[in-house]
Amino acid sequence: MLKSASRGKGSVIASTVGTALGLNSTVTAVFSLFLVPLSEEFGVPRAEVSVVLLIVALANAIVYPLVGKLADRIGARLIIVNGIALFSASLFLTSKIENISHLYLVYGLMGMSGSVLGPILFTKIIAGWFDAKRGFFLGFVGGVGNGVGSTLMPIYAFTLLSEGGWRYGYQGLSLLVLVLGLPMVLVFLRDPSSEPLPAHNVDQGQSGLTLSEAIKIRTFWIFVSAIALCTGCLISVFTHVVPVLTDIGIETQDATAVLATFALVTVIAQVVVGGFLDRVGSPFAIAPLFVVAAGGVLIFSTTKSLSLIFLSASLMGVGLGAEFGLLPYGISRYFGLRHYGTISGVMYGIVAITNGCMPVFMDIAYDTWGNYDAGLHVAALSMIVGALFISVLPKFMPLRAGTNHS
C-alpha cells in the first residue's frame, strides 16, 4: 500500500511538472511576448499572427477526443511520453520558419502534439488516483502546474528574447520541455489502473456515463458553454496583456510582471477552489468569482495606473484559476470516471475552440479600431453571462459510499 501511495504522489509531481510545460504555459502564456516580434518579422497585422492560436485550438479540438478515447483504452502514460518528444520538436521547428505560412504549419503540429500535455490526460490520471480529495489534487496539479509554468515561463521567454530574439526563444522553450519534462514523466508518472491505491483514496468502481449518454443531459451543455465562454474571454486577455499594456506606454518588463501576477494568482485560486469544491459539492458557490474576474477585465481596460493594473490582473487570475479547477472536477463528478478521457476530450475540445477564437477577435478589434477596448468590454460582459450559466448548474454527484470525506 505504501508503494502504491508513493506512486500516486509521484504521479502528482510528474503531472504538475508536465502541466507546467504544457500548452497553457509554453504557448499561451508567452504568446503576448512573441506577438509583436512575429508581426514585425513577417510584415503582417497582429490578427494574422493571432490566427496561430485558433490553429492550435482547432488542433486541440480534433486531437483531444482522440487521445481521451485512446487513454481510456491503453492508459495515458505512454501517450504523454511520446507527446513530450513531439511537442519539443515542434517548438524547435518554429525557430526555423521563414514566413507566416510556415508559422501556421508548425503551430498546427504544436497544437496536435501539445494536446497530449493538455489537461485531459493528466487530470484522468489524478482523478483515477484520488476520490475524497480529488478536487484538491486536481487543483494542485492544474493550479501549481499552470500557475508556476505561466508565471515563470514568460520571465524565461522574456530573457531568451532579450538575449537572442524570438528564434532563440523558441529554441530555449524546446530544450526546457525535453530536458525537464521527459525524465519526470518516465520516472514518476504511473497510470492508476496498474497500481491501485487503497479504497479510501481511489475510485475503484470507475462508474460513469458514456459520451452518448452525457451529451443527452442538459447539464453537459450548460456546463461546457459556461466554461467555454469564461475561459475564452480570460485567455483572450491573458494572451494580450503585454501588447495591451505596451500600447499605452507601460514598459515591457512591467507588462511581463503583470502577466506573471495574473498567472501566479491563477495558481492560488485553482488550488483553493479545488479544495473548496470537495467541501461544498456545488458550482453555485464559485459563480461570483467569474463576476469578480469580469470586474478585473473592466479595470484593466480603463486604467493606466500600474497599481490598478496589478489589481486587475489578480482579479482576472481568480477567475481563470476557478475555471481551471472547476472543469476537470465537474466532469468527474457529473459524468464519472469510466469514460472520463472520452468525455473530457470532447468538452476540452469545445473549450479549446473558444480559446482559439477569442484572441483572434481581440486582434480584429485592434486592427479595426486601433485599440483593444471593444474586445475587452465584450469579454467582461460575456463572462457575466457565463457566471449566470454556472449559477444554474445542479449539485455534484456525491462521493462514493465508504470514502473518506476528510
Instruction: Tell me what pLDDT residue 321 has.
Output: 87
Going from the C-alpha of 346 to that of each of 4, 119, 143, 380, the distances in angstroms are 31, 12, 22, 26
Instruction: Tell me what pLDDT residue 79 has.
Output: 92
Cell, residue 190: 504511473
Q: Are 336 and 205 in contact (CB under 8 A)?
A: no
Q: For residue 295, count other CB atoms closer than 10 A to its CB.
A: 19
Instruction: Tell me what pLDDT residue 7 has.
Output: 66
How many CA atoms within 13 Å lie on the side-chain side of 231?
26
Instruction: Tell me what pLDDT residue 5 has.
Output: 53
Beta bridge partner(s), residue 336: 208
13: Cβ contacts below 8 Å, ≥ 6 apart: 184, 188
The DSSP code sequence of 258-311 is: HHHHHHHHHHHHHHHHHHHHHHH--GGGGHHHHHHHHHHHHHHHH---HHHHHH
CA distance 241 to 236: 9
Cα angle, residue 225 at apex, residues 270 and 352 outer, rounded to 5° = 70
Instruction: Tell me what pLDDT residue 69 has.
Output: 87
Tens-digit pLDDT string for the chain (406 aa): 444 556 677 888 899 999 889 888 888 888 888 988 999 999 998 889 988 988 998 898 889 889 888 888 888 889 999 999 999 999 999 999 999 999 999 999 999 999 888 778 888 888 888 877 787 888 788 778 877 888 889 889 999 999 999 999 999 999 999 999 999 999 998 888 544 444 444 444 457 788 899 999 999 999 999 999 999 999 899 888 988 999 899 998 899 899 889 988 988 888 888 778 878 878 888 899 999 999 999 999 999 999 999 999 999 999 988 887 888 888 888 998 888 888 988 898 888 888 888 888 888 888 888 888 899 999 999 999 999 999 999 988 754 433 333 3
Cell, residue 322: 476557478
Beta bridge partner(s), residue 208: 336
Cell, residue 316: 482576472
Q: Could you tell me the domains of the chain? A: 8-191+208-391 (1.20.1250.20)
The residue type found at 331 is I
Q: Are 330 and 222 in contact (CB under 8 A)?
A: no
Q: Choose among 308, 365, 33, 345: nearest CA to 168.
A: 33
157-167 burial, b at 16+ Cβ within 10 Å, e below that, comes to bbebbeeeebb
* Maximum separation of any 2 CA atoms in the chain, in Å: 62
115: Cβ contacts below 8 Å, ≥ 6 apart: 23, 59, 60, 63, 64, 67, 83
Read off φ and ψ for residue 336, nearest 5 degrees: 85, -175
CA distance 131 to 148: 25
